[in-house]
Amino acid sequence: MERGEEEMIESAEKAKQDPIYLNALKDLIYQLADDDFIISFRGSEWLGLAPHIEEDVAFSSITQNTMGHALMFYNLLEELGEPEADQLAHERQSNVRKNAIYFEKKNGEGHYTEEPYYDWALTVVRNFLYETFKKVKLEAITKSSYQPLANVAGKVLMEQPYHLAHWKIWFNQLYHSTDEAHERLQARLLEASEEIGDVYELGHHATEMEHFELMISEGTLRERWLNEVSKTIQEFPSIDIGKKFGSGREGDHTPDLNQALEILSEVYESDKDAVW
């Protein structure tokens, strides 16, 4: 995506002047914000349960930072006239959320406060696929026509290489360790390939996003992402990627998202006026 004839939009005020541009822009930012938000929540559920103490420190640091990225995107939405970040995070129903469905999937069986039988293979595969995707999507967005979003993408990309490097190490070490580790990762990769197909979709406003040079096309995004994945995993199926549960970009979601929202907004709902 080269910046050509299309003009740069430097401020929220200017973006608000064209409702078609504004709606496409907001939809794109909701996808970025909701992806970061839900993957952070699933990450936070691992606190105290990670395989060892060093990982507990690392994973919670990544999760906290990723939640900070979600906040930056929600703040951009706030500037564009949407409700404030706390409301966006806690009060929206699942059918208006735009995260890809694979990221809302439960960490495993059981419950955090009871018997959490979470699966580390799912977590390694999912976070690796997420961080590779986040990298290529944000790289494209650094050239977006909406300058405030391009700037935030640049800021996030300064921190995110640490996250991606972390999950690459986990994947490579486990993948080349025992047969059991290898098989479990393989099974989770297969599962991911059946479910993750909505990740590179851009939703109802895809055409406008491309027209206004907010974003590259779905096809190019998909191609760049698979290329990035293949640098670490040669065996990831690149042709038959399915979307078993529909498209999160269009508001489809599974009961797992409702389960997450119920838990993460429990304290917020108990006293909405509280200042933390």
Partner 1 sequence: MQEQRLQEVRAVLKTVDDPELPSVSVSDLGMVHDVKIIGSQVYITMVPTFAGCPALDFIQRDVQKAVTELSWVSECEVQFTFQEKWSTDAITDEGKKQLKKHGIAPPPENYQPGNEWTVACPYCDSDFTSMENVFGPTACRSILYCTTCKNPFEAMKPVVDYVY
Residues that bind partner 1 (CB under 8 A): 54, 57-59, 61-62, 64-69, 71-72, 75, 139, 142, 148, 151-152, 154-159, 161-162, 164-166
Q: Least separation, in Å, of the C-beta of 190 and partner 1?
A: 28
* Most distant CA atoms of the chain, gap in Å: 58
The per-residue b/e assignment along 197-219, b for 16 or more CB within 10 angstroms, e otherwise, is bbbbbbbbbbebbbebbbbbbbe
Q: Least separation, in Å, of the C-beta of 85 and partner 1?
A: 12
- Token pair, residue 258, equals 């409702």
Q: For the beta carbon of residue 129, count every other beta carbon within 10 angstroms.
A: 27
Strands (E), the chain: 108-109, 117-118
Nearer to partner 1, 72 or 261 (CB): 72
Nearer to partner 1, 62 or 174 (CB): 62
Nearer to partner 1, 142 or 217 (CB): 142
Q: Least separation, in Å, of the C-beta of 246 and partner 1?
A: 31
Sign of CA dihedral 44, 49, 50, 52: positive
Nearer to partner 1, 69 or 253 (CB): 69
Sign of CA dihedral 9, 141, 251, 217: positive
**Residue whose token pair is 């990740």:** 199
- Alpha-carbon distance 2 to 192, whole Å? 32
Nearer to partner 1, 50 or 174 (CB): 50
Residues 98 and 34: beta-carbon distance below 8 Å: yes
Cβ burial, residue 260 (10 Å; 0-12/13-18/19+): buried
Nearer to partner 1, 103 or 146 (CB): 146
